[in-house]
Structure 1
């Protein structure tokens, strides 16, 4: 059964009482607990539902070309954005983590927060249907869609265009280090442009580290 505080939390974000409490509990459960079922299957489903809701929303809202819509979609459904939404609703305290994962900072991990946020979307879809889940996503993502998330050029694209415009070779990314347990991994990546220089950055995923490195490169050399 759900804790009373968690039940109230789910009522608030979903806009209605959670049907099938066991399924919602599964959405909040990390594999480190040793439970028979964790959030991974629901996260897989929620990722696809979130993408559909945001894609439909952007199509109706904006008149831009496919490339611009894809750029915004990718930014709005990214793990870091899902984690940002999770922090805004104070999801962390309601997640069920094993002691080691909690001690390793799992409650504030972008990876776990983002995945659990998607799992909750999956649980909503299974128990409440698409229309109710769309309403939930639109409420939670409203400020991000109305703002500038995804409107700026992605740092890796900006760096690639900068290199081409300056007649330089394309940027090369190298994984320097991977540390920490799987649920709180840290990746350090270097990006360099021959004849210009190289910078390093660290993120919670290889993709995030590459993005941060590209942004740092442009800030230093662009």
Structure 2
């Protein structure tokens, strides 16, 4: 089966995607819990690279910033959390093909799944319409993130690392203290501690985001 629902086709067109090979797009919306031969994983792998190059191209053209600053902004703008934010903003969630069990477990609002499907759609756009059309669409959908200055401020983990060094403290230590929920809607809790200073905890849909949140809370508390 590869027929896209009419409302999904309409949503794709309204959002800026151009559908030629329908089977490609059907796979891009399909979560692994459906147990079908083709799901979004391979397209997500491709779309991640399309997104990265599109944003890197924009940043390079718009700024004379050094490589470190460009990389800092790039990482923030292409992050899983940002992809999920874009997906929510355009109303992607209702169109994801996901099992009832995975949906009831919160999968349809999972940062991981929303971000992955968003990237899979970019992969489909690239295969169906080429890089230029994909880059133009990324610039359209990611414009608020690009214009908001996302990533200009230092990443919380980097800020904490520098704070510890500047205060003659040992480097911060991160510890995963809890993981709950099914794989597609997992919740991670991380504790970060600095010897003889204190600790803080953060929770998120991925271990990396939980570490970032813990570092941010630590700096709010002790920085």
**How far did residue 36 of structure 1 move?**
1.2
Q: Could you state the TM-score of these two structures normalised by the residue count of structure 1?
A: 0.98
**RMSD of aligned alpha carbons:** 0.7
| 1:39 matched residue in structure 2 | 40
**How far did residue 177 of structure 1 move?**
1.2
**How far did residue 15 of structure 1 move?**
4.8
**How far did residue 200 of structure 1 move?**
1.1
Residue 159 in structure 1 maps to residue 160 in structure 2: yes
Give the paired residue count.
221
Measured in 2, the distance between the counterparts of 1:220 and 1:174 equals 18
| 2:173 matched residue in structure 1 | 172
Contact 1:14 1:133 in 2 (8 A): no
Contact 2:93 2:114 in 1 (8 A): yes
| 2:80 matched residue in structure 1 | 79
Tell me the secondary structure at the aligned position of residue 175 of structure 1.
strand
Measured in 1, the distance between the counterparts of 2:173 and 2:108 equals 33
| 2:24 matched residue in structure 1 | 23
Tell me the secondary structure at the aligned position of residue 126 of structure 2.
helix
| 1:6 matched residue in structure 2 | 8
Tell me the secondary structure at the aligned position of residue 7 of structure 2.
helix
| 2:112 matched residue in structure 1 | 111
Tell me the secondary structure at the aligned position of residue 98 of structure 2.
coil
Gaps of 5+ in 2: none
> After the TM superposition, which segments of 4 or more aligned residues of structure 1 sit over 4 Å from their partners?
none
**How far did residue 153 of structure 1 move?**
0.5
Measured in 1, the distance between the counterparts of 2:93 and 2:17 equals 19
Q: Could you state the TM-score of these two structures normalised by the residue count of structure 2?
A: 0.98
| 1:206 matched residue in structure 2 | 207
Measured in 1, the distance between the counterparts of 2:152 and 2:106 equals 31
Contact 2:17 2:125 in 1 (8 A): no
**How far did residue 10 of structure 1 move?**
0.7
